[in-house]
Amino acid sequence: MRRIYHRFPPGCDLNFDIDRSFPELVRCIQKLHHSHITNKKGVDLVKLTFLVDVADKKTQFVPVDYVSDIAETVTEAVDFRITLHETMLTPEKSIPVSENMFLIRVNDAGNRCDCFAVKEGRQGKMDAMDLRELLKGACE
In a domain, 4, yes or no: no
| Number of domains the chain contains | 1
pLDDT category of residue 75 using cuts at 50, 70 and 90? confident
Mean pLDDT value of segment 84-96: 90
Nearest to 102 by CA among 129, 139, 63, 71: 129
CB contact at 8 A, 86 and 48 = yes
Q: Is residue 34 part of a domain?
A: yes
Asked, for residue 18, whether it belongs to a domain, the answer is yes
pTM, 2 dp: 0.91
The tens digit of pLDDT for each residue in 3-48 reads: 999 999 999 999 999 999 999 999 999 999 999 999 888 888 999 9
The range of the structural domain enclosing residue 113 comes to: 14-138
Q: Is residue 45 part of a domain?
A: yes
Is residue 106 assigned to a domain?
A: yes
Span 94-140, pLDDT tens digits: 999 899 999 999 999 989 999 999 999 888 888 999 999 999 988 87
- Asked if the structure places residue 105 within a domain, the reply is yes
CB atoms within 10 A of CB 71: 16
In a domain, 85, yes or no: yes
